[in-house]
């Protein structure tokens, strides 16, 4: 059957929605379904999605009528939305097409109308949700974390505790909206570590990052959107990252995390309460980053706790669990 996914990604909003959507799309295709991503950002969608996924570009105006008309004319069985702008009015219109509506979100909007609600965040089960119509199927919490391969596979494998910290990876996800990478690099230059900086596909600050790295006295490797990104996570003894999709990928590889909040979700507080990350300020200074790194380097038991919790939180079956719910929602 044909499944549609509505998602965008850009420098302004990040690529997390598209990465999650691509995970769902891949699992659906592995089960024999056809998938089309409906998006206003086709270049980013094409970069993130698997080659076999069809991509339909949407207009800036009259989007809702374009989407609903396309769903009706193509006999779409389910529409998955992963975009904050899909409010309850939009959800009602999607439901009127006869397709099952699956809403992927990170927060608790005022009201939801959907067949399935997916909030794949560790804090999701504690939130309160309001809905209209029939109560949706709930897919809440770490059981539904959507990980790309091979992160999903890594999550089910044991990784020995890194007793020493020699290699650190710095990754702000697909974009670095607040330009934090140079600040982190300057902070790390006081430590005897090898630093690898990942420049994501949506970065517009790569020149400043390279200039900062050139001024560092410690070794720095800069990689632009590497295909073997998971291997760099596995090889790292410590990571500094923004607390979004990338943080879940690092938890899957059991890499101890120093995290920087990147949006208004409860994720920083939740990871802090779970002892799953050392959480810095939203806009950390060089001193803030240095203090966080010093704390982790000097406390082996703290690092062990961060390593242990990663293996407990992320188990790798999220995509399968979400697609099970999608398929069930289309049963007559």
Sketch the domain layout of the chain as residue ranges.
Answer: 2-147+317-329, 151-313
Using pLDDT thresholds of 50, 70 and 90, give the confidence band for residue 331. confident
Which is higher by pLDDT, 244 or 77? 77
Which pLDDT value is given to residue 305?
95
SS3 content of the chain, % helix, strand, coil (to 5): 40, 20, 40
Using pLDDT thresholds of 50, 70 and 90, give the confidence band for residue 109. confident
CA-wise closest residue to 165 among 185, 144, 142, 192: 192
Using pLDDT thresholds of 50, 70 and 90, give the confidence band for residue 8. very high
Residue 263 has pLDDT above 90, yes or no: no
pLDDT in tens, 111-168: 999 999 999 999 999 999 999 999 999 999 999 999 988 888 888 888 899 889 999 9
Using pLDDT thresholds of 50, 70 and 90, give the confidence band for residue 253. very high
Q: Provide the edge-to-edge strand list for the sheet that holds 238-242.
A: 220-224, 194-199, 167-171, 238-242, 257-260, 278-279
Mean pLDDT of the chain: 93
Which pLDDT value is given to residue 175?
85
Q: What is the DSSP letter of 200?
A: P
Residues 228 and 61: their CA atoms lie apart, in Å, by 38
Residues 190 and 5: their CA atoms lie apart, in Å, by 46
Residue 87 has pLDDT above 80, yes or no: yes
Q: Does domain 2-147+317-329 have CATH number 3.40.50.11190?
A: yes
- Report, in angstroms and rounded to the nearest whole number, the Rg of the chain calculated over CA atoms: 20
DSSP assignment of 129-166 equals --B-SSPPEEEESGGG----TTHHHHHTS------S--
Residues 72 and 30: their CA atoms lie apart, in Å, by 24
Residue 12 has pLDDT above 80, yes or no: no
Which pLDDT value is given to residue 227?
85
Using pLDDT thresholds of 50, 70 and 90, give the confidence band for residue 328. very high
pLDDT in tens, 45-79: 998 898 889 999 999 889 999 999 999 999 999 99
Superfamily for domain range 151-313 = Glycogen Phosphorylase B; (3.40.50.2000)
Residue 315 has pLDDT above 90, yes or no: no
Domains 2-147+317-329 and 151-313 share a fold: yes
Using pLDDT thresholds of 50, 70 and 90, give the confidence band for residue 177. confident
Which pLDDT value is given to residue 45?
93
- What would the mean pLDDT of 29-47 be, rounded to a whole number? 95
Residues 8 and 269: their CA atoms lie apart, in Å, by 26
Residue 287 has pLDDT above 90, yes or no: yes
Residue 286 has pLDDT above 90, yes or no: yes
Q: Between the CA of residue 59 and those of 108, 208, 250, 292, what are the distances in Å?
A: 27, 34, 36, 45
Using pLDDT thresholds of 50, 70 and 90, give the confidence band for residue 257. very high
> What torsion, rounded to 10 degrees, do the Cα atoms 80, 42, 29, 326 define?
0
Which pLDDT value is given to residue 4?
98
């Amino acid at each position: 059957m044909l499944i549609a996914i509505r998602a965008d990604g850009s420098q302004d909003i990040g690529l997390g929605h598209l990465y999650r959507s691509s995970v769902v799309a891949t699992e659906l295709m592995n089960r024999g379904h056809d998938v089309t991503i409906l998006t206003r950002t086709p270049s980013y969608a094409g970069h993130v999605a698997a080659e076999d996924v069809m991509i339909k570009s949407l207009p800036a105006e009259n989007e809702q009528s374009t989407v609903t008309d396309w769903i009706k004319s193509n006999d779409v069985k389910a529409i998955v939305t992963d975009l904050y702008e899909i409010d309850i009015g939009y959800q009602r219109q999607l439901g009127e097409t006869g397709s099952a509506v699956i809403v992927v979100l990170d927060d608790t909007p005022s009201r939801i109308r959907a067949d399935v609600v997916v909030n794949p965040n560790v804090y999701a089960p504690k939130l309160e949700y309001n809905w209209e119509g029939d109560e949706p199927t709930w897919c809440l919490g770490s059981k539904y974390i959507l990980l790309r391969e091979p992160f999903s596979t890594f999550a089910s494998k044991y990784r020995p505790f890194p007793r020493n910290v020699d290699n650190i990876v710095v990754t702000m996800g697909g974009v670095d909206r607040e330009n934090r990478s140079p600040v982190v690099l300057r902070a790390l230059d006081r430590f005897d570590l090898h630093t690898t900086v990942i420049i994501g596909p949506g970065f517009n600050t790569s020149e400043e990052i390279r200039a900062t790295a050139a001024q560092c006295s410690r070794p720095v490797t800069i990689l632009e959107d590497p295909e073997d990104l998971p291997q760099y996570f596995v090889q790292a003894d410590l990571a500094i990252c923004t607390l979004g999709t990338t943080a879940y990928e690092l938890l899957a590889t059991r890499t101890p995390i120093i995290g920087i909040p990147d949006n208004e979700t409860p994720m920083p507080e939740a990871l802090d309460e779970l002892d799953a990350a050392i959480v810095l300020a939203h806009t950390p200074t060089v001193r803030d980053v240095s203090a966080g790194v010093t704390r982790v380097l000097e406390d082996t038991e703290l690092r062990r706790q961060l390593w242990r919790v990663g293996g407990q939180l992320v188990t790798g079956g999220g995509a399968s669990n979400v697609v099970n719910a999608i398929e069930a929602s289309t049963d007559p």
